[in-house]
Structure 1
Amino acid sequence: MRLKTDLVIMGSGMAGISAADAALARGKKVMVFEKKPYQGGAVSNCPIAYLSIRNDKDFQNTAFHLLYEYSNYNANPSVIRQYVNNSWRTKEYIERLGIKMIQTQKLELEDIGNPKYADGFPPAIMAHGDFYLVPGRGKGHGGALICLNAMKDIIKRGGQYMLNTPITDILVDENGKVNGVKAVNNETKEEIEVECEAVIIASGGIMEDREMMKKYTGFTFTDYNCSGDGNVLFNCYPNSGQTGDGQKLAWKLGGAQSAIAVSGHNLVPGPGIVASSPWIVYNETRTIQEQPYLWVNKNGERFIDESISNNHMAISTGIANQPNGESYIVFDEDTRRHLEEDGVDYMYFIFPVEKLTDIPGQFKTLINEKGNKHVFMTDTIEELCAQSGIDQAGLEETLDRYNGYCDNGEDEEFGKDAKYLRPVRKGPFYAMRVFCAGYDTIGGIKVNGKMQVIREDGKAIPGLYAAGDNMMSEFYGNPPTGGSAGAYFAMPFGFAAGDSACDYLEKNA
């Protein structure tokens, strides 16, 4: 089958639909290709909230400086500028799709970057715009509803959707300009060739290509129980189809490679704690790993100020830097009573619980009935170390110092807030082995401020653009400083890529 259009978009997630919206508004013919049999990217089909920077220069400039500083001035400032200038379009677009939103936080100019609005995440990421929640419908998620309504809107306006049809190649002419794509229908096996003048890669990350994950992030993805000998990663979005297709095609055409990093948080794997999606919990122990008590690595050493244990980007980075990429939260019977009688110190809004119930019973179920190898409850520290693999001498040395800090009310190592200093002395003793978990990955494709895919010499590949997770290293810094909330950024970058592609099409008409 041979077809013709102006613009081809690879991927139907948040970046893809935004790019299509921008191009249709400029009167261009658009085809959206999606490898899965349904619309929407990996992270866009989830409970969704987003930030929107107001269409005001003062708000945009303040957010720009905050985000640029967050990257340690290592990001591409022109890419950050595209985000802050296009962020307001997200709210307008979702409302135009007929979706009601709940504004949960209105951020005034003087509050941009204020940690009290960050909910544990870095203020640069969580406190630079107004915060909205998109409620789901029935049992469906808000993100899926956006993608569904967007597909209907795009088709209504003349765009074409090619579901279950992955793009297998991007074609260029003798001058290196994009002039088409090849694709294949997964069901019928029919080969499709489309003549076009521009392509936007909006195809997401690499989470489900295990070889790429090992090569570019260092993580070994074994299974959803993190079986193996460490340095493993829990995949929060199985069957998402994130296999680096867009990165591979961009690199094949000479596109420069940017760093790839995992965007995720800390997680104790199953069985018995969470399902393959971390939003589905089987008990209350998921909340324990949010708490700011004692965290150690395999050598029994502290490695972070535990008061940021609910800052998923920070704690995940800290864990990744430890031997075998693993950590342990350790607490004793007195802290267990505190969690059940006084209540939790941190509560993640997705798992709302003020007081835990029967922690010993939950641990026994996980250990004895579910066979969870990452949860431990023993009468002595010696037994705890023997079962968990924590170095006993290292942990005992740490406990001597740490318990002294708790007694004196002052953390002389990392300056943790004294209200979170809880000693580990009284058995039974509890521990949970915590790994990094990945929603997705960010990075792989290097772009310039026009969202054009560029070569190593910095020159653009004519007609080739990228938006969304695959180019997000340019926003966070290269190497990335840590990523979160892909939907916040994917849509503005989609709008920007759509606009730039249209400028290119009109210039070369």
Structure 2
Amino acid sequence: MVSRFRLHNHRAHGISRAQLGDRMQNGGGIAMTRYAKEKKGLTRRTFLTGAAFTGVATAAAAAGLAGCAPTGAEEVSTDRAGNAAQTSDLAIATVPVAEAGEPARECDYLVIGGGNCGMMSAAHAGSLGLSTILLEKSSVTGGSSVGTEVTMAFSDCKIMQECADDPNVINMSQPTGTYDELYTYFMMHNSWEANAELVSNYVKNNHRQHDFLYEHGAYPMMLLPSLDAPGGGIMYEGQGVGAFEVMQAAAEEYGVEIITSAPATALVVDEAGAVAGALAKIDNESAFVKAKAVFVGTGGFSNNQEMIERYIPGYGTLAWKNDAHLAHDGDGIRMMLGAGAVESDLSLAQPSASSVENVAWDTPIDKAAREPYVWVNAVGKRLGNEKWSVMDVMFKVGIKENDYVYFNVIDSAAVERMASEPLMTSARTVLGSSDPVPDMAEALEQGVSDGTVFKGETIEELAAAAGIDAEGLATTMNAYNKMAKAGEDTEFFKDPAALFPVDQPPFYAFRLIPSWYSTLCGVKINGKIQVVNGQGKPIPGLYAGGLDSGEFFKDNYNHGFSGGCSGYSYFTGFFAADQVKEYIDGLQ
């Protein structure tokens, strides 16, 4: 075991503490991700090239749902938009243990999925003395760890307590709230719809997975506050990849058998309906892996086009830091549905800032489109306070519109302002730089030529070009400009520092759609990470975590509570191992 008191000198890696702080303030997300990739390096076991992963995902998408075997009578459910959905056509039928054949392998605990939550679960299970096998469908492990930046943490973890004074760790953290404050904040931001026991267990046990990583050699690069929550976060050395490598090393240390290129194809159940393992392709042959309990953490369905069109239509494309290179095709969710699980808000996705279609992330047009000028819908009506602090605002503004779009209107004065002054949006929340963009005018004119930016010498011409109701837009702009010149937004109370008249031709407009990082929810689980059936009862021997599980994020993801997605994945994996140990001990 590696000592947790190990110190690391970033200057030895060619970057100073001050430089790290500057990068965090000025677009730390992308800067630090690039730094991690350049300096830390990505091992073969934790990263596969986009082309190779895309091949796996494309094959899965081509297969679509054709291979799904319906289980029982069709049950009609609805998504959050009220659209009817046939859940049974997604389900992959379970296989009775009597028909599974002789076990090729046996273990106490079978983990399906080798990403953040799966590897964390396998490592902790190994440390608890459970014989554990991990199946990963891709040729390498790692999953979404390559896109993980900050991971949520609270003041009760050892890293926050013992590393805060290390001069080699960038420390912008602050004391986090009490359990009561953390619980209340998170429940409020989920409209009190999240599973109360699950949230409570997360808050009380969040420190344990971080302590596990720390005690096995993980060390922080930065300690951070949340944007508007009583929480905090840790950016590990090497970021998500670095933390993942510690998990995998721990799993190997504790004797976990990790099998890659081994997709699970169906869950196996015994005569009483308890999950007793899974069928998998191992060495290109079907094999029964017998287990006393199974954990599913396969990363959601970001690359299953049919499921995307069913559950999150209109959400636009995956954003930067996306799942496009991963084989996240919903197979874990579908296998659990076959075992009697039920869906949990599959119509949610982890939001990114809204984007202009066919425009690359963090380019001049992308930046200009996010600036807080005048946001309107297709009838020209202003949508609210445009000065946002977290990217969720842009996402939710977009998805509330009938056709999932809205427009940002600017003028030539705004173009000159963006070319010479820092941008008004927070670089930290868009993962890019707030520096002025000297070539903004040229970039916008190129966008007009390419069809990604709309232009008009008058508001009426702009409306015609963009497809906005001209009368409605003119009325809105007149009212807005009067308030801007008076220095007070009496309608939606925008910060006066971002309140500028938009009255200098030519005018430009951007059509924005909500982009997203990943799907967010899978099947329903309870507070003990157990998968539950339609009656709310646990399915014996079946556990799920990360993006394959639900009941934690109920009102979309909240970026003000930074690091929630990876924090939840770490927690569900770690805490599930505790529950499995208790379950297996009870079988004896």
Q: CA deviation at 1:202?
A: 1.0
Paired position in structure 2 for 1:182:
279
Aligned residues: 461
Gaps (5+ residues) in structure 2?
1-102, 158-175
Is this contact kept in 2: 1:290–1:347, CA < 8 A?
no
Paired position in structure 1 for 2:353:
266
Paired with 1:46 and 1:213, the residues of 2 have a C-alpha distance of 20
Is this contact kept in 2: 1:7–1:198, CA < 8 A?
yes
- For 2:516, give the aligned amino acid: G
Q: Superposed, which structure 2 residues align to 1:32-431 within 5 Å?
A: 32-42=134-144, 44-55=145-156, 59-105=178-224, 118=227, 123=228, 127-136=229-238, 142-185=239-282, 188-219=283-314, 236-260=322-346, 261-269=348-356, 271=358, 273-274=359-360, 278=361, 281=362, 283-308=363-388, 310-349=389-428, 350-368=431-449, 371=450, 373-431=451-509
* Distance verdict in 2 for CA 1:236–1:364, change over 3 Å: farther
Is this contact kept in 2: 1:268–1:432, CA < 8 A?
no
* Distance verdict in 2 for CA 1:105–1:147, change over 3 Å: closer
Paired with 1:180 and 1:104, the residues of 2 have a C-alpha distance of 40
* Distance verdict in 2 for CA 1:152–1:421, change over 3 Å: same
Paired with 1:180 and 1:151, the residues of 2 have a C-alpha distance of 22
Identity of aligned residues (%): 25
Paired with 1:176 and 1:51, the residues of 2 have a C-alpha distance of 36
Deviations 1:256-314 (A, max 9, x none): 2211201122232454x42xxx4xx4x33332233222111222221121112x42112
Is this contact kept in 2: 1:207–1:235, CA < 8 A?
no
The structure 1 residue matched to 2:557, chosen from 465, 479, 482, is: 482
- For 2:230, give the aligned amino acid: H
- For 1:85, give the aligned amino acid: K
Is this contact kept in 2: 1:86–1:493, CA < 8 A?
no
Secondary structure of 1:330 counterpart: strand
> What is the alpha-carbon root mean square deviation over aligned residues?
2.3
Is this contact kept in 2: 1:90–1:492, CA < 8 A?
yes
Paired position in structure 1 for 2:33:
none
Paired position in structure 2 for 1:114:
none
Secondary structure of 1:345 counterpart: coil
Paired position in structure 1 for 2:110:
8
Paired position in structure 1 for 2:93:
none
Paired with 1:266 and 1:346, the residues of 2 have a C-alpha distance of 11
- For 2:460, give the aligned amino acid: E
Is this contact kept in 2: 1:4–1:196, CA < 8 A?
yes
- For 1:482, give the aligned amino acid: Y
Secondary structure of 1:103 counterpart: strand
Is this contact kept in 2: 1:344–1:355, CA < 8 A?
yes
Q: CA deviation at 1:150?
A: 2.2
Q: CA deviation at 1:82?
A: 1.7
Q: CA deviation at 1:448?
A: 1.0
Paired position in structure 2 for 1:111:
none
- For 2:453, give the aligned amino acid: V
Deviations 1:350-394 (A, max 9, x none): 3123222121111223343xx3x3323333323322322222222
Once the two structures are overlaid, the 10-residue window that deviates more, 33-42 or 495-504, is: 33-42
Deviations 1:306-337 (A, max 9, x none): 112x4211220110111310111111111222
Paired position in structure 1 for 2:13:
none
Deviations 1:221-276 (A, max 9, x none): 6x67xxxxxxxx999331322211121111111112211201122232454x42xx
> Does residue 30 of structure 1 match 2:169?
no
Paired with 1:234 and 1:353, the residues of 2 have a C-alpha distance of 17
Paired with 2:529 and 2:367, the residues of 1 have a C-alpha distance of 40
Is this contact kept in 2: 1:332–1:430, CA < 8 A?
yes
Is this contact kept in 1: 2:356–2:510, CA < 8 A?
no
Secondary structure of 2:583 counterpart: helix
Paired with 1:192 and 1:476, the residues of 2 have a C-alpha distance of 35
Is this contact kept in 2: 1:317–1:482, CA < 8 A?
no
Paired with 1:374 and 1:267, the residues of 2 have a C-alpha distance of 14
Paired with 1:292 and 1:395, the residues of 2 have a C-alpha distance of 17
Gaps (5+ residues) in structure 1?
107-116, 137-141, 225-232
Paired with 1:462 and 1:62, the residues of 2 have a C-alpha distance of 34
- For 1:357, give the aligned amino acid: P
Is this contact kept in 2: 1:103–1:130, CA < 8 A?
no
Is this contact kept in 1: 2:189–2:558, CA < 8 A?
no
Paired with 1:207 and 1:360, the residues of 2 have a C-alpha distance of 35
Secondary structure of 1:98 counterpart: coil
Paired with 2:155 and 2:127, the residues of 1 have a C-alpha distance of 21
- For 1:307, give the aligned amino acid: K
Deviations 1:141-165 (A, max 9, x none): x212322332233123200112122
* Distance verdict in 2 for CA 1:483–1:58, change over 3 Å: closer
Paired with 2:414 and 2:131, the residues of 1 have a C-alpha distance of 62
Paired position in structure 1 for 2:537:
459
